Every structure is written in C-alpha cells, then in structure tokens.
C-alpha cells in the first residue's frame, strides 16, 4: 500500500429541500385551506476516525464529497425526506485544515471520533406554515437553505508513543526491524527510508508504537534532502530517540563527528518548531560493534558536554545495549498497571557504573 499523508479534497453539504404549495381538495370541504409541507434538511458532511488506516491514499482517487440534498415538501402536510449524510472515514491522527494549510479546523485524535464538519441546509417552509388569520390562502413557500462547501486539506500525523530520528544511514531501519515486527528496507546508502514506518515494540510486558521517519540533513527545514515534512509524524510522541552513527560519514565520504551529527538534527528540530526541540530525547550512539569501548566512552563524554541529558550505546545489528535503551523508553510512558514503575523512575541498572552495554 502506498503512503500518502497529505491530500486536498472538496466537501459540500446538502441543500435543504423546497417547501410545497398545496391546498386541500376534499369533498364537502368548501374552504380546504393550505397543506403544503416543509422541505427536508440536507445531509451533513461528517468526518469519522477509524482504526486500521495509516494512509490517505484513498483520497488521491476520490476528491469530491457531496452530501445528499433534502427532499421537497408535499401536500397533506408531508415533510420532505432528509438528505443522507456523507461520512468521510479518515485515519486516526488526521487533521482537517483550511485551504491556507495552516488553520486546523478539526483534529481526529481517537478511534471512533465522529464530528459534523459542514451542516446541511434547513428545508424551506411549505405554504401551510404561512397561514394566518389575515392570510388564509398563502401561496408563498421557502426554497430551502443552501448547503456549505469548501476545499480542505487532510494532513495525517501518525500517532506513536516514541519517535526515531537521525541523519541518513544512522541505523534507524535496522533498529526498528530489531525491536518490532516491521520489515523496513535497509541499504548502504542515504535515504533508504522514503516514508514513515510504524512498528509495535513489546518489552517487559509493555507495548508501545515506534515511528521511524526519513533521515534529516542540514538544511532540511529549507527543503534539503527529503525536507522536514515528515517531522509532523513525531509531533505527538512522548519521547524521541536520536540515533547517531558512531562512524558516520557525509555524502562526500568525510567523517561526521557524533557531536556534529547531534547538533545538525537538533538545529532542524528547532527550525521546524511545533515544540519538537523541547521534547524529551534519548541520544544513542549506534553501531558500537564498529568501535572499541574506549572510543565509545570518549564520544559519550563529548555528547554529554555538548548538552545531551543521557547517552546510550548500542548496536542495532547485534542487539547489544538495546534492552537498556528500551528500559529508559518505558520510563517516559504512562504506567499501564500498578505493578509497573511510575513515569520517570530509574532502574537500578542506571545507578551502576556506566558501560557501553549498560
């Protein structure tokens, strides 16, 4: 299935049906009087968040959504049928934005959420409703109120507990494959990941959703590389894991020091905004199978001096150090049961002298 996280659609609610002009025609009723019914209400435009969807690809092929018009009134004081609502099903985490792509009109944040977006027009009045003591045979009627219409943007922000980010080739795909059932593409070249990946991680009787986004490079906020459009998918995460390749190189093959790699990504988070630079981040030296303990310890010290709160060391390929990292991640998630440690409580292992493998 193709991944699409933005789409523009046109929505229009149904117009109300017109009222009827009718008079009673019955035997022995010399002055029957008006009996035209009101028109029916037009259908609403409704957005519904449904589980099981993680892409907006369906809206690439269907872009116009129109609710049904209300039925016209009829004689014998019969009200017209109401128009059928148009229910638009979207993935959980979808935002509905105005045509300016900035103003958020609706935010669908949980499964089963159902919101009326555009209300259908009311039906027009039939001539029976205009009858009065001075107007015994009215012939006027209401045409029905028009529906509302507009273009809107749908923007999907995946709902995940933990976000995974870093420079290209930092080992994010290998890591998410190691800890979840995801089968992300792994390759020895930049931008192997072209779209966000979701994986469910199970650790110590806990489950959380991990989101992997394409790698960032310097200038991503200005559109360099794949840009920063996918950063929206980690806006709702509770904690971010920043993977740093301990032996990273740039596109020209020149070494990239871990401190420089950390500062590049942090600069892009700050440039993007939305509070991403204020989120809790776990800095991780990855691929320690390619370095000795002394080098790992030296890089860890440099990262701490550069502002990192805590630095973990692991190998996504061999699995070394992953358990200690996942223990720390769980500390940022709400406790599911009273038997589990509260948020922020430290494991006894954290009090032991530091080592690359915890």
Residues of each annotated binding site: 166-173, 191-195, 212-215, 286-289, 315-317
Whole-angstrom distance, CA of residue 151 vs CA of residue 63: 10
Give the list of residues 6+ apart from residue 267 with CB closer than 8 angstroms, or none: 218
Binding residues for GTP: 166-173, 191-195, 212-215, 286-289, 315-317
Classify 129 as helix, strand or coil.
helix
Could you tell me which residues are beta bridge partners of residue 46? 87, 116
Phi-psi region of 274 (alpha: psi -120 to 50; beta: other; left: phi over 0): left
In sequence order, what DSSP letters do the residues of 263-312 get, joined into one string?
A: HHHHHHHHHH-TTGGGSEEEEEEE-GGGS-HHHHHHHHHHHHHTT-S-EE
Whole-angstrom distance, CA of residue 108 vs CA of residue 92: 6
Binding residues for Mg(2+): 173, 193
Helix (H) or strand (E) holding 324: helix 322-330
């Amino acid at each position: 299935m193709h991944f699409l996280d933005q789409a523009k659609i046109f929505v229009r609610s149904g117009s109300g049906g017109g009222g009827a002009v009718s008079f009673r025609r019955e035997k022995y009723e010399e002055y029957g009087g008006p009996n035209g019914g009101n028109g029916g209400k037009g259908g609403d435009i409704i957005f519904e968040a449904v589980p099981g969807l993680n892409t907006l690809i369906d809206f690439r092929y269907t872009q116009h959504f129109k609710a049904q018009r209300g039925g016209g009134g009829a004689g014998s004081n019969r009200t017209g049928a109401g128009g059928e609502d148009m229910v638009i099903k979207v993935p959980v985490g979808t935002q509905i934005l105005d045509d300016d792509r900035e103003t958020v009109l609706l935010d669908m944040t949980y499964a089963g959420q159902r919101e009326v977006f555009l209300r259908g027009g009311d039906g027009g009045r039939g001539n029976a409703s205009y009858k009065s003591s001075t107007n015994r045979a009215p012939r006027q009627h209401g045409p029905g109120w028009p529906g509302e219409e507009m273009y809107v943007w749908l923007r999907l922000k995946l709902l995940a507990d933990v976000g995974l980010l870093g420079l290209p080739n930092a080992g994010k795909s290998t890591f998410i494959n190691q800890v979840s059932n995801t089968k992300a593409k792994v390759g020895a070249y930049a931008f192997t990941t072209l779209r966000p990946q979701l994986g469910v991680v199970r650790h110590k009787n806990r489950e959380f959703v991990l989101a992997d986004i394409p790698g960032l490079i310097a200038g991503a906020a200005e559109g360099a590389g794949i840009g920063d459009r996918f950063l929206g998918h980690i806006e709702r995460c509770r904690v971010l894991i920043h993977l740093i390749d301990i032996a990273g190189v740039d596109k020209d093959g020149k070494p990239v020091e871990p401190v420089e790699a950390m500062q590049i990504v942090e600069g892009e988070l700050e440039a993007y905004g939305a509070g991403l630079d204020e989120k809790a981040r776990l800095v991780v030296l990855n691929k320690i199978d390619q370095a000795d303990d002394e080098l790992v310890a030296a890089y860890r010290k440099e990262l701490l001096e550069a502002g990192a709160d805590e630095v973990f060391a692991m190998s996504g390929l061999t699995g070394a150090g992953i358990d200690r990292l996942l223990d720390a991640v769980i500390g940022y998630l709400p406790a599911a049961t009273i038997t589990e440690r509260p948020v922020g409580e430290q494991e006894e292992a954290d009090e032991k002298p530091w080592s690359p493998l915890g």
